[in-house]
Amino acid sequence: MGEYTDVLKRLVMYRKSLGMVQTEVAKKVGIGQEMYSYIENGSIKISGELLIEFMRIGCSTDELIAGKEYNYEADDLEAAVNSIASEEDRNFALKLLAELIVNKCGRKRESITGETADNMLMLDALSKSWDNFSMTCFVRKKLLLSQIDMAERLGLGIKKYRAIEREIIYPDAETLFSLYDMSHYRPILFMNMKDRKMQILKSIWGIFNSAEKEKLLKYAVYSAEIFGQEA
């Protein structure tokens, strides 16, 4: 287990890796140097909105919060889905892939362990709720906690917690660190960025061999092109 102070240390290391002083980074993310200084020393939390600004200048949320990157080999998956013309049909193909993978892996779940097993649970939850998926809600239910219990564990008021669970607001860095610490799921997934569905699929993609991947992609892309807009 780490501490939120580790996040702040990584923020300082990131700034120094750029060869910048606090004033320069503060200007890039749209705040004053004094406020930035308070953020680095922990007096002010890194807000969800500021996390987005740090991402915009190249600071990885995963690296900042978890201290590591998540790199999945899935170029074929991204290329196949991105070849589909409309965003609506790409969404259809991703949903179909999620359902196919959950169904296929359900028959051999005993052989899936560790991080991959956890990611399968996440993909299963995503496939069932899809556009209404909440990463925080998924983790809470996985831990068998009520919203009140989850809010207390995160040190939040219930109103703010519910707003985070409904993904009306982004969690601040300290809350995001706590969510990661209790679940060990990739931090950026709690931010509900545009490609979250793709990232969750990519976390499972490596368990299939080349022939299986080809079949899954052909079926999903073909179905999206034929049926996607009708769904």
- Domain ranges in the chain? 4-66, 75-230
Question: Both tokens of residue 118?
Answer: 């956890």
pTM (whole model) above 0.85 = yes
DSSP reduced 3-state for 150: helix
Q: Name the one residue in this structure whose structure tokens are 């564990």.
A: 153
Closest CA to 127 of 91, 176, 180: 91
What's the pLDDT band for 107 if we cut at 50, 70, 90? low
Percent of the chain clearing pLDDT 70 (strictly above): 95
pLDDT score of 231: 45
Percent of the chain clearing pLDDT 90 (strictly above): 81
Taking only the tens place, the pLDDT of each residue in 150-182 is: 999 999 999 999 999 999 999 999 999 999 999
Return d(Cα 58, Cα 200) in angstroms, integer: 21
Q: What kind of fold does domain 4-66 have according to CATH?
A: 434 Repressor (Amino-terminal Domain) (1.10.260)
Asked if residue 106 has pLDDT above 70, the reply is no
Asked if residue 10 has pLDDT above 70, the reply is yes
CB atoms within 10 A of CB 138: 21
Taking only the tens place, the pLDDT of each residue in 27-36 is: 999 999 999 9
